[in-house]
Amino acid sequence: MDKSNRPFLKSKRSFRRRLPPIEAGDRIDYRNMSLISRFISEQGKILSRRVNRLTLKEQRLITIAIKQARILSLLPFLNNEKLFEKTEANTRTTTTGLITRNQ
């Protein structure tokens, strides 16, 4: 049989099952920072369920735990270190310029 005649047959690739991101012993809690930090992007956003490979119940619990940690200041709401560094560098140059003009 020619390959062009079998359009709906699946390819025979090996399938390796991925390990779940949350193990049975892990407790989803706002104090468990090592677990929570795995589900946050570099910008500080909560990653989606598809990216995390979580069940709906686990994703809800993770989201609640992240929000509680943010409210209690254990996690930042935004992770904008690069933006802060740029604005800090600009204020330094402008303030030194003002000081030299006043003298």
Half-sphere exposure of 68 toward its Cβ, with a 13 Å CA cutoff?
Answer: 13
Q: Number of folded domains in the chain?
A: 1
54 lies in a domain? yes
- Beta-bridged to residue 87, according to DSSP, are none
Distance of CA 51 to the CA centre of its chain: 10
Burial grade of 90 (CB within 10 A; 0-12, 13-18, 19 or more): exposed
Tens-place pLDDT, residues 72-91: 999 988 877 665 555 666 65
Domain holding 75, by residue range, is 33-79
50 lies in a domain? yes
Q: Confidence class of residue 101 from pLDDT cuts 50, 70 and 90?
A: low
* Greatest C-alpha distance within the chain: 90
Answer whether 0.85 is exceeded by the pTM: no
16 lies in a domain? no
**In this structure, how many other beta carbons lie within 10 angstroms of the beta carbon of residue 13?**
6
Supply the CATH number for residue 57's domain.
4.10.640.10
